[in-house]
Structure formats: structure tokens, C-alpha cells
Amino acid sequence: MLDIKFLINNKDAVKENIRKKFQEDKLPLVDEAADLYAKQLEAKHISEELRAQRNKLSAESAKLRKEGKIEEAEAIGRQVKQNAVTVKEQETILAEASARLDQIMKTIPQIIDPSVPIGKDDSENVEVERFGEPKVPDYEIPYHADIMTRLGGLDKEAAGRVAGEGFYYLLGDIARLHEAVLAYARDFMIDHGFTYVIPPFMMHRSIVEGVMSFEEMEAMMYKIEGEDLYMIGTSEHTMIGRFVNQIIDESSLPLTLTSYSPCFRREIGSHGLEERGVYRIHQFEKQEMIVLCKPEESMDWYNKMWKLSVDLFRSMEIPVRQLECCSGDLANLKVKSCDIEAWSPRQKKYFEVCSCSNLGDAQARRLKIRTKGENGTYLVHTLNNTVVAPPRMLIALLENHYQADGSVNVPAVLRPYMGGKERLVPVK
């Protein structure tokens, strides 16, 4: 969300940014926003003048009454009443202009970083670097749901009877591996100086609107019927929401946090659910990393954060690549974003397992998250990145460690969390 004063002083830059994001239908909104802001200021100015005038007239009327000049006092009283009507009219104009302006400002995209590649959609994202050698064994690798089932670890049929499509039961060693990955990721982030947090798994609409766009909210969020509560789609939401309307001491920045949560997503839109597997589902668990920092430090943290994801996956012997998101693939609140994709030897291609984003001051502006230092009060920058999100990331782990006999090797870093188990074997 942009600062309205920035928009007014940089109309051409804002319009060019809209063009770079291929959202030309929003170009008229820039001029409309400027006009609405002018209308706001005018209505506010008129209201303030009228209130001052009303106070003066009320004092004069009271004086005249004391002097017994009733007719003159009543005449001034009528002016006071008309004044009040006009003030109310101006307040209505102000409220309507403010509501429309807020709606527009939440629609106009954040100014993207100059380094973001220009492209219409995710098909034009740019591969930057690969880490680890992607290999394809000389034996067939089954579909991940079949690997899990043969290891006695997946029951989607029963989950369908209980909750419908998009849910699952994880069992035995697969369930244990799922939790081992989360525990390892938690400790990995703690060892890198992040504070571990378990946040609320629901939030008010005002927080939802502060952390994401309306379009994302409609496609993702589950609403609790009869209550002002939404189930989180990622712990980033309530982690950032924790600081709503707060002024953070500048000396405490950066805040580096890592959070665990279940996540719930409707998955409405072009992606849809995956019928057999666990790649795109309604419910999953995730370890997330969150940073709140000074504006001048946010790009450094962005690079540190995605590299942590690379290091984590490489420690589990999973080849990955960094994919730079192009302008058309960036959500409107994002300044810059990249995906970390893991190698799938079965599909012979990479798929997304992490998403790292720098949102600049967009979320902080919506939620009024500020910091205060020697140079005054200003908005912080917020960033987020997936650490791991099983069961999706288990696809990469199972495929890259699958053996010809149907067993799966457990990466060395996960064995302490698996009771020392080195290999998962099919259930006979």
C-alpha cells in the first residue's frame, strides 16, 4: 500500500509501475486517488472552519441571551443549526471520499524493486542459480502418493470420507518423518538466531486486510461462520499482525522470528486441488521465517532469508534452484519475491517448496507498524519466507532419497529426530 502523498508527487512513476505489472485497467485509479485526497482535504478544511465559526456563534448567542436580546440570540441560534447541518454534509463527503480512497490505495500495487524482471505471469519467471546436481536414477520412481502408501504412510480415502477432498491421514514412519522435518527446521532456524514462536491460528478481518490483498483473501481464507475470525493460510499473517498499531523500539530491530502453524487454504482458482497426492491441499503444516527491520536493511535480509532455505534443503541432500518472480507474478503488496524450487527426479523438473518475499512498508502501512529512533518515527519493512511446508516438501525428500528396492533413505540430519532410523522400508 503506497503513501498517498508519494502517489500525488510521483503519478508517472506509479502509472509506469502499474504498466510493468500488466494491470493497465488500474491506471485511471491514480488520478482518481489524487482527486479524492484533494476532496478529503477540502471537506476537512471546511468542517474545521465551520466548527470554529459555530463555537464563536454559540458564545455570542449565549452572551446576547444574558443581555436579554432574545431575538438576536435566536437568529444566531438558527445560524448555528444551519452550520451543524453543513458540517454533517461535509463529514459525509469526507467519510465517502476516505472509504473510496482507502479501497483504491489497497488496489494500486506496491512499487517493485528495479531488479525485478518484467513479465506477464509465472511462465516468465527467471531461473537465477542452481544448488546441487539434479539427478535421475536408472530405475523408476513412483508417484509420491504411491511411495507414501507403500510405506504405510498415507490414507486419503479415509480422509475423504471424514473431511472431503483435499485432506489426508499421515501414518507411521511418514507421519514421523513429517514431524522430524518440522522439528529439524525449527532447530535450524533457532541455530541461525531466530526466535521460535507459536502464533494464533485465527485472526480478525482487520488483520487479514492488513497482510494480504482482497483477491488473495477471497481465494484463500476460510471464514468462521458467525464470528469475526478467519483461519490462517500461513503463520506470516498473525506473526505480522502481532505488531498492529505498535511502535517498536529501533534498538530492537531487526526482529527475526520463526513460527510453526497449521495452515488452511480454500485453494480456489486455476490451481485447484490435487486429487491423489499431497501437493495442493486444504490443510498442511509449515515452519515460517519473518523479519521486521529498518528499510535500508530489507534487501540484505531478503537475500539472507532465501539463502537459508537453500542451505536447509541442501543439508537434506535435495537439489534446489532459485527462481526470480517476474513483475506480473508478484502479489500487489510485494516489492520483490523469489521461489526456491526442489528437484523432482520423477518429473524431471523443479517444483516450488519455498517462497521468499520483501513487502517493503506495505503491510506496516496498513497495520500501522512503526519504529522510533533518533531520527523520529517511521514504518518498518516486513519480509517472510517459507522454511519448510510438509507434506509438500516430503515429495522432494522421498523422490530424491528413493532406492531401487522401494526403500527411502533418511537424510543424516533427520535421523536424530527419527530415533536414529536410517531407512524407511515398504510395509509387507
* Chain centroid to CA 271: 18
Question: Is 390 a member of any domain?
Answer: yes
SS3 labels along 326-368: CHHHCCCCCCEEEEEEEEECCCCEEEEEEEEEECCCHHHHHHC
CA distances from 145 to 26, 160, 173 (A): 43, 15, 14
Residue 247 and residue 365 share a domain: yes
> Residue 279 sits in which domain range?
122-424
Residue 197 and residue 85 share a domain: no
CB proximity list for 252: less than 8 A, separation 6 or greater: none
Residue 91 and residue 141 share a domain: no
- For the segment 370-390, what is each residue's pLDDT rounded down to a tens digit? 999 888 999 999 999 999 999
Residue 270 pLDDT more than 50?
no
CATH number at residue 346: 3.30.930.10
CB proximity list for 160: less than 8 A, separation 6 or greater: 167
Q: What is the mean pLDDT of residues 344-358?
A: 96
Q: What is the mean pLDDT of residues 333-359?
A: 97
Among residues 75, 105, 135, the one where a domain terminates is: 105
Q: What is the mean pLDDT of residues 199-216?
A: 90
Q: How many domains is the chain partitioned into structurally?
A: 2
Residue 270 and residue 219 share a domain: yes
Supply angle C-alpha 112, 310, 335, rounded to 5.
10
Residue 149 and residue 90 share a domain: no
Residue 272 and residue 183 share a domain: yes
Residue 238 and residue 168 share a domain: yes
Find, among 321, 355, 361, 358, the residue nearest to 341 by Cα.
321
CB proximity list for 131: less than 8 A, separation 6 or greater: 310, 313, 314, 319, 320, 321, 322
Among residues 38, 70, 105, the one where a domain terminates is: 105
Residue 228 and residue 91 share a domain: no
Residue 126 and residue 85 share a domain: no
Question: Is 115 a member of any domain?
Answer: no
- Coil, strand or helix: which one is 159? helix
Contact, 144 vs 399, CB < 8 A? Answer: yes
CB proximity list for 77: less than 8 A, separation 6 or greater: 61
* pLDDT band at residue 21 under the 50/70/90 scheme: very high
DSSP summary character for residue 244? T
Residue 67 and residue 141 share a domain: no
* Residue 193: CB atoms within 10 Å: 9
CATH number at residue 14: 1.10.287.40
- Indicate the residue type of 414: L
pLDDT of residue 36: 95
Residue 134 and residue 90 share a domain: no
- For the segment 104-151, what is each residue's pLDDT rounded down to a tens digit? 999 999 999 999 999 999 999 999 999 999 999 999 999 999 999 999
